[in-house]
Structure 1
Amino acid sequence: MTDDLPRFACPDWWEKLQAGETPIPEIPLDEKRAARALAFFNRLKLPDVPGNPPLSEACGDWFRDILVAFLASQDPVTKRRLVWELLCMVPKKNSKTTYVAALGLTALFMEDAPNRQMLIVAPSQNISERCFEQAQGMIKLDEKLSDIFKVTDHQKFITRRKTGTDLNVKTFDTSIVTGEIPILTIIDELHELGKKAKASRVMQQIRGGGITMQRGQVLMITTQSDEEPAGIWKTELDKARAIRDGKGGSSPIMLPVLYEFPKEKQLDEAFWRNRENWHLVLPNIGRSIDAIALEDDYENNGRVSKETEQIWSSQHLNIEIGVGLAGDSWSGAAEWGNCIDETLDSLDALLERSEVCTIGIDWGGADDLAALYVIGREQTTKVWLGWGHIWIRPKVYEVRKGIAHKLRAFEEAGELTVARNSEEQAALAAAVCRKVYDSGLLPETAGIGLDSAGVALLIDALEAEKLEPPLVQAVTQGWKLQTAISSVPLKLEDRRFLHGGQASMNWAAGNAKQELKGSNYVVTKQVSGAAKIDPLMALFDAAMLMFLNPQANRMDIGEFLADPIMVAG
């Protein structure tokens, strides 16, 4: 730690990974407490490995660095703890569940406060049982530990006899925290909580003890998600990366320990497919991971298809799924995340900076998403600015259970609205169009573009707002969207298209697949399969109209543009 860097910033994290070091800065320690924690941790034995080796032999130094930083950090001046939270992201099979069980036992042994509560939280019963079995097995292998700890098998908790403080191993649910706030909580596989509704609320409960005199610590350890990060997982991962990069404030309380490749390396398929580079993010290779077995698994399971390779690389190499994945992804996805302007956080912000706007709408059925996207052309720079919104009916949460957790996260972020029925959904979308119209920024002709399928109720709602042809136009789909599909990526590459980084659009851009048909690239719902791309299709519709170089309510584009899509095509 140096005076010229914020706390826990580690700008040389990639260099540390390449050197085989733990990707964290130097953490000041209470050396006596650190030594005590290490002595206890190292004597614990692995219950499920032949010979039951002690952790002094079986565990790598990377996790011992985590152990002492979390349990023994100390400000050299104030003598107060520095690390109140820790997020470790490490790929599968690096023994994280076993190690956190051992860390939990160590923390329980180190805690002198009486009658307190500690938790190890897992997203599923299988994981929680595995964690408890490991802790229980370590105690059974050492007679002295049986004198220190009492194990209550059927309730899955362990009590330190001297203090009465309990370590409970629980499966996550929304009522997990009741009564006293835990003084320590370990969350295994945090990324899975990103798929659960109300996980953010539970995390707030767990952290509620952080502002009390008896403060609580939180350790989160996880692999990368097998789908695009969402919910509480995305929130915590973004926070951790910002702290690591020195952008998380001057005195954060979370220490990030992230085993991942830099973004440019994640985008470089040749780099991460090279087995010589895998060890950089696998700190336990040679211990719990057999390098040859890992390669065999990749060849026989990971490379079966593009989809299996994406999931395999996300779990074994922490390659993030979503924006930036190559292959048959839409060519604009790689640059989408580089074009964020955080000031574009609302439609009002876009309107204020624009000289003209166009609107694209992709309307879904009763069990689908309806999306609207506004593109504004900035007054001086002529840069395109983007903002979008989604509407669904309540039944979508039941019909689309596979993405319900994502939709709920978009709803919480204010990017999605649940309408009571189809009429209200259409009216809400039409109201947004009317707002843009009233700003004076829509052109007289071809300002609102629609995919013509299933839009009868929407057309009625637009007419009720006095928004009619030629302002409202049908946008031909399929290959005639080629101009938008191929040109928007070029604008993103040059940062001539900026957006607010809305999670729903990041998701849609990452989902989109493109296919070469004849001489044209197409992005369609059929090509992209079950993945939802409705917001991106709405963007393409708006882009097709913006390519006509419209003028805001000051110029008639002319009779020859009565069918603007044919001209653009």
Structure 2
Amino acid sequence: MLNLSRPDWESRLREGQSLLPQIQPVNPALARQAVEIFDMLCIPDVIGQPTFGEAAGDWFRDVVRMLFGALDPATNERQIRELFLLVPKKNSKTTNGAALMMTALMVNQRPNAEFLIVAPTKEIAFLAFNQASGMVRADRELLGMFHIQENQKRLTLKRSGATLSVKAFSKEVMTGVKPAGVLVDEEHVIALNADAGDVMGQIRGGMISQPEAFLAIITTQSDKPPRGCFREDLLQARAIRDGKSHRQGDDGETQVAVGTGILPVIYEFPDRLQKPALIGDFAAWEDPSVWPMVLPNLGRSITIHRLQQEYETARGKGIAELSRWASQHLNVEIGLALRSDRWVGADYWVGAGDDTLTLEEVLARAEVVVAGIDGGGLDDLLSLVVLGRDATTQEWLHWQKSWVFEGVLSLRKKEASVMRDFQAQGDLVIVSEPGDDIEQLADVLEAVDARGGLAQVGLDPQGVGAIVDALAVRGIGRDRVVGVSQGWTLSGAIKTAERKLADGTFRHGARPIMAWAASNAKVEPRGNAIVITKQAAGNLKIDPLMATFNAVTLMSRNPEAPGGKSIYERKSLWAC
């Protein structure tokens, strides 16, 4: 079993050293041959068309050496089956990927082997193909070796019949393919497709019959919170890089065993430099002195001076554009998608996160709690928020849980992968029978009430009969269930939440589903008030955020625990 970890990756990034693991090629002869072929290819869109040997960085040459040197000459089985390369834009990602596939085509020994370039759009795929065909056109010898079929976007190596072609990323097109090698470009965009996970599964499944096959995923970071197959592959690659035997899920539990044969090459800042940009402040990654850590092609296809100019432009346009720019050009992982018509509180949301705030922690610290509920239609998330007031600091402590009917995943296919992510993280329950969601929500509130301190439950007064009845059965009577008017009358709660997020007195559990809901919120002015609505597209949900505002409405009224008992009396701290 190969050890493909590189646990000292942080120090190596700072020192500009290779991120490749410390292993020797099982096939050094093929490794040398692959590097020689890679080096002799010409870069077609650079003045003078220099070869990769003259102009490419050693960082990618090392990738070529390790990937092709992993083909066991005795068994013809590849020990490294996948490459996961995360690198910012303008670091020759697409050009290097095309050269990788050209190299694979020429070292391949299988007759009529099929090599594929797969991308989220035809334009991106054609760009990679045009780079590959340009390499052929730039070399007279290669022109004699290859047949270029421009109309079909296919290159054929005449001596073996092996082909390199472009395929659309779709379940129908990828069904039945048995590729010897696949380049997947920009997986973070591909992951937005509803069936992306299934298609990636088809690609991997088609490789099984060919022991020498490989999958190369070359991508930048997402300009939205990572989701679906991209998020899964990124987490697994990080786990391998860090030397973990298992991947840890967002809930802290071991979820997926790390597979062997996946080579992680991840150019990203360590966590302490990944902090988000805040209003009126500078994030650690905004210091240009740290940028070389994640720019392996620095001094070739990109310079710090050029990036600084783009950075200043992005910062001048506001935090939303700055976050987008950082995700693409510095691989900063953003936890919140921001838009120009966003809710102001979203700017402060990530900074208010505290991943220790479980429901148990909220109840242990709170002198009084209220609950907010929103949603409940078959096309909604039924969302519950428990909001506690800290007995010592008076901070408001937030916890959330949501439920969704499984039919929504078919109805809203574009968001299905996000829902599955939230389910894996433990923040969303997918139910198969209508009514199960209400019963489970009521069970949670019954447990909260049993701990003492549940003052009130706030919810939209429209269409909530089933929820009110379920709570009544569990001893939470109508005297504690409060209708919270919606629309412009929520303006006070919205503005209160904004202020408390900004001044640090509103803390939440840093759960991805809440960041998602906050980023989906669209602000619309209504006279002197504001209204929070869904994004114009209509597919994205804000139910967890609306449940939050319902809870904020109640907490703003300064409630007391049931019976008027103090926190000390309820917890029997004086009994000894």
What TM-score does the superposition give when structure 2 sets the normalisation length?
0.75
Letter in 1 for 2:7: P
CA distance in 2, matches of 1:256, 1:491: 40
Q: Which residue of 1 aligns with 2:21?
A: 25
One-letter amino acid of the counterpart of residue 135, structure 1:
A
Q: 1:359 to 1:282 in 2, by over 3 A?
A: same
Q: Which among 345, 350, 357 is matched to residue 333 of structure 1?
A: 350
Deviates more, 1:265-274 or 1:280-289: 265-274
Kept after mapping to 2: 8 A contact 1:430/1:465: no
Give the match for residue 388 of structure 1: 401
Asked if residue 204 in structure 1 is aligned to residue 216 in structure 2, the reply is no
Is 1:315–2:328 an aligned residue pair?
yes
1:361 aligns with 2:373: yes
Q: Alignment partner for residue 263 of structure 1, among 267, 271, 277?
A: 271
1:397-435 per-residue CA deviation (whole Å, 9 max, x = no partner) reads 98x998676457557988667899xxx97x454322333
Task: Name 1:450's counterpart in structure 2.
Answer: 458
**Structure 2: runs of 5 or more not aligned:** 247-257, 339-343, 390-396, 524-528, 566-576
| Letter in structure 2 aligned against 1:12 | D
Q: Which amino acid aligns with 1:261?
A: F
Mapping 1:164-203, distance limit 5 Å? 164-203=161-200
2:112, 2:163 within 8 Å by CA — same for their partners in 1?
A: yes
Correspondence for 1:432 among 440, 443, 448? 440
Deviation (angstroms), 1:199:
0.4
Q: CA deviation at 1:8?
A: 2.0
CA distance in 1, matches of 2:245, 2:157: 37
Q: Kindly tell me: are residues 395 and 213 of structure 1, through their superposed partners in 2, closer, same or farther at Cα, counting changes over 3 Å?
A: closer
- Counterpart pick for 1:161 among 150, 153, 158: 158
User: How far, CA to CA, are the matches of 1:180 and 1:197 in structure 2?
Assistant: 20
Q: CA separation in 2, counterparts of 1:196 and 1:109?
A: 32
| Range 530-539 or range 260-269, more displaced | 530-539
Partner residue of 1:252? 260
Mapped to 1, the partners of 2:409 and 2:517 lie a distance apart of: 17
**In 2 relative to 1, CA 201–393 (structure 1 residues): closer, same or farther, beyond 3 Å?**
closer
* SS, match of residue 118 in structure 1: strand
Number of aligned residues: 520
SS in 2 for 1:255: strand
CA-CA distance at 1:473 after TM superposition: 2.8
Deviations 1:299-351 (A, max 9, x none): 234531111111111111111111699x964656246474388xx9xx9xx99
> In structure 2, do the counterparts of structure 1 residues 528 and 142 end up closer, same or farther at CA, with 3 Å as the change threshold?
closer
Residue number among 511, 517, 533 corresponding to 1:508 in the alignment = 517
What's the TM-score once normalised by structure 1's chain length? 0.76
SS of the residue aligned with 2:7? coil
The one-letter amino acid paired with 1:185 is V
After superposition, what is the alpha-carbon deviation per residue over 1:45-65, rounded to whole angstroms, capped at 9, x for unaligned? 111111111111121111111
CA–CA distance in structure 2, aligned partners of residues 543 and 7 of structure 1 = 50
Query: Which of 287, 300, 304 pairs up with 2:300?
Result: 287
Once the two structures are superposed, residues 454-500 of structure 1 have per-residue CA deviations (whole angstroms, 9 ceiling, x without a partner) of: x311245423664641242346855568589849997998xxx768x
Please state how far the C-alpha of 1:395 moved relative to its aligned partner. 8.7
**2 CA distance for matches of 1:544 and 1:47?**
62
Offset from partner CA, 1:108-143 (integer Å, 9 cap, x none): 111101222221101111111111111111111112
Q: Corresponding residue for 2:253?
A: none
Question: Partners in 2 of 1:164 and 1:508 — Cα distance?
Answer: 51
Q: Is the Cα contact below 8 Å between 1:116 and 1:182 reproduced in 2?
A: yes
> What amino acid is the match of 1:322?
G
